[in-house]
Structure 1
Amino acid sequence: MNEPEAGAAPEEASTGAASAPSGLSRRGLLGLAIGGGVAGLAVGAGAGLTGGVAIGRARAAEDAHSAYEFFGAHQAGITTPVQDHLHFASFDMMPRTDREDLISLLQDWSYAASRMVQGLEVSATGAVGGPAEAPPDDTGEALGLPAAGLTLTFGFGPGLFENEDGDRYGIAAQRPAGLERLPAFLGDDLDPQTSHGDLCIQACADDPQVAVHAIRNLSRIAFGRARLRWSQLGFGKTSRTTAAQATPRNLFGFKDGTANILADDTEALADHVWVSSNDEPAWLAGGSYLVARKIAMLIETWDRVRLSEQDNIIGRDKGEGAPLSGGDEFTAPVFDSTAIDANSHVSLAHPDQNDGIRILRRGYNYVDGNNALGRLDAGLFFLSYQRDPAQFISLQRRLSTDLMNEYIRHVGSGIWAVPAGAEPGSFVGEALFA
């Protein structure tokens, strides 16, 4: 729950058909036919989905039908205006797969993604256009629904480059130096079953059913080549990427991400988010690094804290989001006064206190039902994009004395290199295999 920053160039909106590869590989079609049970949906977030459907479908028609181009200089879903719903999925490559399997998977995923972001089915035959005696290519739950602003963002984890079987994909020499599992941080209580992964897909949309449909179908396409390791549903964005979006609130009730990098701040994007052509490795130029952290909030404990203490812990006023040193939400905090505690979240996370380090956030609230004690299993699914993983590591270490640590636990973690966008007719990550 780091205090965010500002900047990034918006992906172009498009309602036209995108150029794409000719179709799915044989392996991809096989996955559609026999892999229908590989969706791995998170059932516990049903309450969030129910409310989300009502909210998403109540949007104006023009918003519901918005579509973002899949191809471009950068992958969509980074500086794109943050949508209301998330389905994030992490995958591991299957044993005995090889370079050809990985490339064909990325080709098949890119083709299907380029169709789904337009509101189309994963293939031309789709859910009902194929043989009646064979499983359909598309699962069909998004039939009749618009694109709903769907974006699909793909990332490559450390394990993809080298594992216990050696360099089976022939890309170990292309591994970015900073692409390592994040170090242990004070207070980590990570569940290995909901951490890490060879590949990741971030699906964001203004209709939760559209996001779930995308992950479900991409999971089927992966059959025989990659398996779902873990997934997370999110609702209620906790950051903004455009000035037109109001600053949202997290489950503690505070505005979250006031200082986030915005899509029109191209200078900040170049400095803090996009990997430069002068950086190494060259294949990642135009891409970024994605960090995911599942942060459990001790909701019931927080709810018994008096308001003045909540404000002091965060360093901002709960109502307006203004820093306790005075002004409105967007007034720069004054840290040399006694108004803001030196160990408040704002004081420790703000770029003015961290040598100007900034990151772009796209986090979401989550509620996974109740735990064994009858308490809400809820919190923040933190997502951030940065030019170098060292940016996040420095900020997280700085937060070791954060007063908020008494009320949160980091229970999941992962890092992925996010390639630049694909050119029409190509696929995500093609430069890695050139």
Structure 2
Amino acid sequence: MATPPRSSVGERQERPISTGRVQLPRRSTRGPVDLSQAPVSGPLGSSSPTLSNSQTLSPTPSQRSPNPSSRPTSSPAFHAKDFSRLLRPELYHPLPTTDIPAPLRPSSPPPQDLPTLLSTSRFRAAAVLAANLLTTATAPTDHPTIFALLYVRLASLTLCNATALAAQEVKALEDLNSALYLDPLTSAHLVPWELRVLAVRLQGIGFNDPRRGVVGYFELARDARRALAALRKAVSEDPESEDSTLVERQMWEERLVDLGVRVAGALVEMEDLEGAAMHLRTLGEGGDRMVGARRALLWLRLGDVEAARGCMGGREEADGVVLALGEMADGKYEDAATIWEQLAERDGGNEMYAQNLAVCMLYSGQIDEAKDMLENLLDKGKSFHALTFNLSTIYELCTDRSRQLKLQLVEKVAAMPEADRAGWEKTNADFKL
């Protein structure tokens, strides 16, 4: 989607926020973003390559459904702040449906209920509803609702391939480290953590400054370490509070690990591969299985297969996936196909193994076999983005009437029961139209 034209409203948004309060001084961020720098340390408790930029390949978990119920706490005693500038209708761009194939456009209005829309992955409709609620039904002093809806709006835009639009709209937040967003009595941040993390990446895109994202992640890491320090101090003063603060300490540790991986992903996007590799080596072993998978994907993008395998904890299936990805990265598609076949036999219900096997067949010159395999997945009710994109690519390679075949593919997906094709609204790009 093309980047929306910059409006005069957007220009006014770039002015510094005037709050009438002196901005709190920032502390410098010390060292890399990892648990070795945190006051509380200790370990905490499959994606595949395709011909498309499948969202399953993202090294950052930005594809999770937004949760509007996550809200920060603040002191009830302070005078409510006015965030009416975030409720102006001109801030939120319309979402046209012209990029959606006609057979896949909704035939009836979507439910006006955010939890339902999010649970069924109808992110375009969720983004529209969130903007409507922000501009028509939200009080300017109700900051928990404002920030929850804003998170839904920006995350949903990102998930329905409108990241450029989200990057323009996020500019309205300006500097999230300003005193405007802090509780004047407790200095607690009023903005939910998820929105702060998302805003860092989107503002880097919106202001065309990728380094801004790296700096933003380190600033968040500073806050995470500060929270961990406060919790450790509380435990040292009252040892009986160790159990009651365990969950909160683990939460901040997980956030710190997540930020470390995000920094590495941002460096890769900046094409600073050497810096990304150096940073990944400082992160240690913290994090859950998903964090390990994200690390492995980053190492694969850096070309270090052995380091990628080390991130998967010795799990046989995970090691097989990483090994197959490494063979594909090295152009050894026949060897990779053998591994995908073994994984598919072991877990016949995982359509991604079959999909990647078809990709290997395509690169090995077995176009007809790859086409049959992807069409077989479609007949079984599978219609994820990578499948339709790669099948459309095969149609382009096989025949001069590829457009007709792609239109038939759209019709076939549209005819599927809604339960089989629910979520992740598809656009013309998913069918290469």
TM-score category, normalised to shorter length: under 0.3
- Larger Cα-atom Rg: 2
Name the structure with the higher helix share. Answer: 2
Could you say which structure has the greater relative contact order, defined with CA pairs below 8 angstroms and 6 or more residues apart? 1
- TM-score, length basis structure 2: 0.24
Which one has a larger percent strand, Structure 1 or Structure 2? 1
Report the TM-score, using the length of structure 1 for normalisation.
0.24
